[in-house]
Amino acid sequence: MFSLLRHSPKLTGAVLAFGLISAPALSGDYVVVDDFVFVPEKVTEGLQSRRSRFDTMLVRPGADLRNYSSVAIRSVVVKPRDKDFAKRLSAADRKQLTRDFRSQFGAGLGNRLATTNGKGTLVLSAAITHAWPNKDITGRYLTSRGGSSVGRSTSTGSGRASFEAVLKDGRTGKVVAVLADTYSGRPLTSNFNTNSRWGDARDGFRRWGRYLGKELGAPAGS
């Protein structure tokens, strides 16, 4: 089974909803990563770990992301790592999260977002493996962690999101890289998304688009 230690220097805030959730246990600057839940084990075979802005980046030997200038978003699914938590996600939640991922990740990519495959384009297939809302409208999320349902319609906290993705060469279809990352919202005292449902998750999606864009070469025509 595949596992590694990934560098995680940028956790920006505790993952809290009235203290019911805490950030993963850290050992120095590293966090132990369990097996991927979306990326098949066979896809990671032979890939090499590379330090990047992402918590995890595995790249095919000899591949250089700077040879690519754009990314096409092929598919986005919601595949929670926590099966119990997955039951709390409604169909509407899943639809909203996938829609937000496409729009915000694309916004982060900016002029590097492509609509067609081809030379110089990476094709991304992604899964949202965790998403904690800022505002728990129904109370499903708090009660799934043993929290009280009292006042659940106004419960707010810092949000969080995690994802995994496979990047393939748009022309050959070969796997170029695998990504994984977790984004945590700001602490409650400085969090501007507490009145939204998925505000912090959307911020994470947009940040990941920017991160990937910075790994690529110059856009065509620049």
Closest CA to 185 of 176, 174, 175, 196: 196
3-state SS, residue 9? coil
CA 152 to chain centre: 26
The span from the CA of 131 to the CA of 50, in Å, is: 25
55-89 pLDDT, tens digit per residue, is: 999 999 999 999 999 999 999 999 998 887 788 88
Closest CA to 212 of 177, 175, 172, 171: 177
The span from the CA of 76 to the CA of 189, in Å, is: 32
- Averaged over 32-54, what is the pLDDT? 87
What are the distances in angstroms from CA 29 to CA 7, 10, 45, 82, 159? 6, 9, 25, 24, 21
Domain map (residue ranges) of the chain: 4-143+153-215
- Averaged over 28-47, what is the pLDDT? 74
The span from the CA of 43 to the CA of 176, in Å, is: 10
**pLDDT at residue 18 in the model:** 30
Residue 18's DSSP bridge partners are none
87-139 pLDDT, tens digit per residue, is: 888 899 999 999 999 999 999 999 999 988 888 999 999 999 998 887 765 56
